[in-house]
Amino acid sequence: MLLEISPEFFRAEMERVKAHPASFPIFERKSRIILLKIYGVPSPGANILKQEMLSLGGDAVVHKNAVECKVPESDVILLGTRKHYEALIKKLEIANYFGLTRVRKALKDYLERRKAEYIDSPWGRRIAFGRTLVMGIINVTPDSFYSGSRKQDLKEILKTASYMVESGADIIDVGGLSTRPGSDPVTEEEELARVLPAVKAIRESFPQIPISVDTYRAEVARRSLQAGADIINDISGFMFDENLVKVAAEFRAPLVLMHIKGTPKDMQKDPHYDDVVREIAEYFLERMEFAEAAGVDPDKIILDPGIGFGKQYQHNLEIMVRLEEFKSLKKPLLIGASRKTFIGKALGDVPPEERLEGTLAVTALCVMKGVDIVRVHDVKENRRVVDLLEAVKCQGRS
């Protein structure tokens, strides 16, 4: 009998074979093909990469005209295991030409960098990333796109927070400014009047639950953190209020850096991408560089591709199927897809009130792809999906 082994069960199967435990990491380095794409390598360098990978037992995909240098440069897709890449890095140490120094540094950085295992808030509350976390949404607004998330009365806010905590929420996200497509912002004073009482009440009633504040305004973030909030969740990546980065640096607060094209008012007016994943990744790199230059701790950055924020239906689907590519950036990944339009369209143009099952399907996909946080309206239902799939995933772990 011959069986193809599931990668998730490779270590467990090695144990059944009774291989020496010391050999496990060696075999794991050889077991998984990792596809890495490097952009804009001069054609001679692309040819060298292909030949070196072939000599090591791997391979590389290059432009059809790169071999004769009829194009000035080529993107390169490398096909190899971790062992192949470690060997390639050594070979490239003496190749300081044709853009190969940049390639070597990028490969070395990719192999050596590690995603943070946890992030501590300014107040010592820890957000650990051993499994997919559930972030519950409380919108203290009268106009968020899903009516079930709107909570304005403090008693109602606390009742919702209590239910979320009891249902297994890991984080509660409070937002006082609707960013639905086509929306206009309220004043800063109005946002503060909505958010601060909610943050204070939740913090007083639930001292241990991490609180995220969904805002792009520096003063709202500052006063929310002072009131006991833990995380800044900025849809604009510091593009709408650059002073926000100073607040994040000052408080050493965890922050969600989201991608958006345009503003909530105009973001859905025919957004265009040549390569949606590449363009979002480039945005993340530029925004992280900006944040780190301002003093933000790079280990406290969480990335959110911004489902529905300046994306068409197909863009959202492509992001979802390619989620693992964002993990190359070695940052915790958050997905906020709950009850959004692309789910409704996929289900036959159903309204937000009928998108729970679709949301649960997206959450399941996120868990299996290793997303760190899912931001959802329905905590209990999503928590159950997460718990079941985490139990399944654990079967391959020793």
Question: Which residues are catalytic, by number?
Answer: 340, 375
The helix (run of H) or strand (run of E) holding residue 391 is helix 379-394
Query: How many CB atoms neighbour CB 55 within 10 A?
Result: 11
Cα 172 from Cα 262, distance rounded (Å):
27
Sign of CA dihedral 224, 225, 228, 233: positive
CB 257 within 8 A of CB 232: no
Cα 335 from Cα 352, distance rounded (Å):
17
- Give CA torsion, residues 253, 296, 306, 388, to 10 deg: -50
Which backbone phi and psi does 80 adopt, to 5 degrees?
Answer: -165, 170
Query: How many CB atoms neighbour CB 345 within 10 A?
Result: 15
CB 182 within 8 A of CB 158: no
Which backbone phi and psi does 388 adopt, to 5 degrees?
Answer: -65, -45
| Token digits of residue 229 | 């909030």
CA distances (Å), 93 to each of 82, 90, 220, in order? 17, 5, 49
Cα 110 from Cα 78, distance rounded (Å):
13
| Token digits of residue 102 | 């940049």
Amino acid residing at 118? Y
Inter-helix orientation angle 379-394/356-368, to 10°:
30
Cα 307 from Cα 313, distance rounded (Å):
10
Beta strand pairing call for 211-214 and 171-175: parallel
CB 86 within 8 A of CB 111: yes
Spatial strand order of the sheet with 34-42 comes to 34-42, 73-80, 59-61
Amino acid residing at 146? Y
Query: How many CB atoms neighbour CB 269 within 10 A?
Result: 11
